[in-house]
Amino acid sequence: MSIPAAVWEHVRQRARFACEYCGVSETDTGGRLTVDHFQPKACGGSDDPDNLLYCCHGCNLYKADYRPRGPKDPALWNPRQEPAEAHLLTLADGTLYPITAMGAFAIERLRLNRALLVSWRRRKQLQSEALRLLDRYREVVGLLEQLYHRQAALLEEHRALLEEQRAALRLLLKGDE
C-alpha cells in the first residue's frame, strides 16, 4: 500500500522540500525527493506522518530498513525529534563531525560525509559568507553615503560662515577708511 498523496505532500511541505537527514533540497537535486518510514514498515512502522521523513535518494538508500533490533544496536538520529545541531557539527571544510554517539552512527549509516554532500555543504558555506559580506558591504556603502551627506552639509555651513566672515571683514575695512 502506498502513502496517500495528501500525506506525502504534507510530509514534503513540512520538510520545506529538503532532505531531513542531510539538508539537500529539491532545487539542489533537480527533482522531488522520497518519503521514508523512520521505523520501517517491516518493523511495525506505520504511514502516520509522525513516522514519515522527507529524504534524498542517497539517505533513503543508506538508511534502508535500519531499526535497532537489540539493546546494543545503536539508535539512529531522528531529525523529526531533534535538530542536527544536537548531534552534528559542520566543519569549515564542509564535513560533518559527530558530537554524540548517535551523530557518529548517523554519519556512518547515512554516509553523510559522502563527497558530493561535503562539496554541497562547502558551497553553501561559501555562498552564506558571500551574502554576509555583501550585506556588510551594503551597510558600509550606506554609512559612506550618510557621511558624504553630512560632509556636504558641513561644507555648506562652512561656506556660509566664510561668507559671513568676508562680509564682516569688508565692514571692518570700510570702517577703517
Domain tally for the chain? 1
> Does residue 138 sit within a domain?
no
Residue 126 lies in a domain: no
The answer as to whether 140 is a domain residue is no
Residue 14 resides in a domain: yes
Q: What is the pTM of this model?
A: 0.77
pLDDT of residue 177: 67
pLDDT at 173: 87
Residue 57 within any structural domain of the chain: yes
Q: Which domain holds residue 91?
A: 5-113
Domain presence at residue 32: yes
Can you give the pLDDT at residue 97?
A: 98
- Block mean pLDDT (10 aa), the chain, length 177: 88 97 95 95 90 96 92 94 96 97 97 97 96 96 96 95 92 80
In-domain check, residue 37: yes
List Cα–Cα distances, 82 to 20, 102, 142, 165, 167, in angstroms: 11, 11, 40, 73, 76
In a domain, residue 123? The reply is no
